[in-house]
Amino acid sequence: FYIERELIKTFPDVPIQAIVRNITDKERISQVFQQYKPQVVIHAAAHKHVPLMESNPGEAIKNNIMGTMNISNAADEYGASDFVMISTDKAVNPTSIMGSSKRVAEMYIQDLNTTSETHFVTVRFGNVLGSSGSVVPIFKKQIAAGGPVTVTHPDMQRYFMTIPEASKLVLQAATLGKGGEIFVLDMGEPVKIVHLARELITLSGFRPDEDIEIVFSGTRPGEKLFEELSIEGEDMIPTTHPKIAAWQNIPKDRQTLRAGIAKLFEISPTQNHDEIVKIIKCLIPEYIGDKPNGS
């Protein structure tokens, strides 16, 4: 709703059509692509909340993998020129169902690129400041309520990027990508979440630990203490943009990948976390389960 309004206001002379569809509905997605035949597809739909997906693993598989397959297959079938999938640094050496589901989606996109006329690329994001469900709006609400501000762990740190940086990275990836790459923005040094909390409290006119208490709540299921940007075996490819790195690795054997995905789809309706993890471990050897790094 808000995106449509903003686009209409910003680009009054451009025809804009907002269409509501469920990306797991293969037939309806195909109808949209058949009717409009988009040339550039930016796939940003995903379940992204780590602890919530640990308790609803089947939904992560359905939305993040099946949904990606439906969108990317339609882009391939109806001749899109470029396809950009939004992924996450949580897909690197994943410890969560959410991160694993995005890693499998990355693998599928890379595999599809080897046989398609469409240029399929992936963009790995860090945390986007101010985005829906991100830490800054949550901290601001807690500060406005008088505290406490909750931080999971004193050593928890994350890479951050702004919304304009994230948007530009997506567009740059579409123009730089030849197909099969995973693009990562140089986000500088990771930031400790507790330091971010203290800064926000101070900027709000309060004193950390005096006016507003900071409480450590403990790491939640699937969470890491710190994120990584690349997987062992990924080779860095230089780009013409000084702030953007491209990574590429050898796609997993197609038969193994698709057989594993089929098993995930078969078991996902049961929401059986342990069985889903067994299949994930076969597809993603670097998956280490619910063992936060540094613990």
pLDDT value of residue 239: 87
| CA-CA-CA-CA torsion sign (69, 226, 160, 119) | negative
Average pLDDT over the chain, rounded to an integer: 90
Angle at CA of residue 48, ends 43 and 53, nearest 5°: 130
pLDDT value at 166 more than 50 = yes
pLDDT in tens, 18-27: 999 999 999 9
Q: What is the dihedral of CA 167, 169, 171, 172, to 10 degrees?
A: 160
pLDDT in tens, 178-192: 899 999 887 788 899
**What is the share, in percent, of the chain residues with pLDDT greater than 70?**
97
The CATH H-level superfamily of 41-126+164-184+224-283 is: NAD(P)-binding Rossmann-like Domain (3.40.50.720)
pLDDT value at 51 more than 80 = yes
pLDDT in tens, 113-145: 999 999 999 998 888 887 777 788 899 999 999
Overall average pLDDT of the 72-87 stretch: 97
- Rounded CA-CA distance 17/11 in Å is 12
Please say if 9 is a catalytic residue. Answer: no
Which of 9, 37, 62, 90 is an active site residue?
90
Model's pTM, two decimal places?
0.88
- The strand pairing partners of 160, in sequence order, are 127
**Nearest residue to 84 (alpha-carbon basis) of 174, 10, 215, 206:** 174
The angle that helices 273-283 and 254-267 make with each other, rounded to 10 degrees, is 170
What are the structural domain ranges in the chain?
41-126+164-184+224-283
pLDDT value at 295 more than 50 = no
Are 128 and 163 in contact, with CB atoms under 8 Å apart?
yes
